[in-house]
Amino acid sequence: MTLRDRLQSALKDAMKAKEADRLSTLRLVNAAIKDREIASRSDGEAVEVTDADILAILGKMVKQRQESARAYEEGGRLELAEKELAEITVIEEFLPRQLSGDEIGGAIDAAIAETGATSIRDMGKVMAVLKGKYTGQMDFGAVGPMVKDRLA
């Protein structure tokens, strides 16, 4: 079952169970996927959004909600922060398990070995390999400095 099918199934289940908050979040996810499809159309041809694309969308949505929740907490708007955190919980159901620190270190070492990277100039190659294999499983904003340290 593709990720898109899982999302559609969860959407239907939320409708049947009358879970308004969950339904709202799943509709936002579907809208983001639809937006990506529309944006990726070329010459009038429909381009299929892959599971990797959907994982990237979900990861971006989680990051946006984390930033919003942090801003709401700083502003004293706890009810809005809780709503954002609840949306994160729903979205994370569809993301793969996050890698631990040791697993990330091993993945970085493997990507460096695979690409034959020897200096900072090869960082893009290493990051491309990591993004290809581990989309949705690690925070690339945090991984970038780790790769940089290993290549320095």
- DSSP string over 113-150: HHHT--SGGGHHHHHHHHHHHHTTTS-HHHHHHHHHHH
Q: Which architecture, in CATH terms, is 3-92? A: Orthogonal Bundle (1.10)
Determine contact, residues 120/148, Cβ cutoff 8 Å. Answer: yes
What pLDDT score was predicted for residue 44? 67
List, for residues 96-124, the tens digit of each pLDDT value: 888 888 888 888 888 888 888 888 888 88
Where are the chain's structural domains?
Answer: 3-92, 101-151
pTM for the whole structure: 0.73
- Concatenating the DSSP letter of every residue in 74-90 gives HTT-HHHHHHHHHHHHH
Q: What single-letter amino acid sits at 133? A: K
* Topology (CATH) of 101-151: Arc Repressor Mutant, subunit A (1.10.10)
On average, the pLDDT of the chain sits at: 87
Which is it for the CA torsion 43, 8, 60, 94, positive or negative?
negative
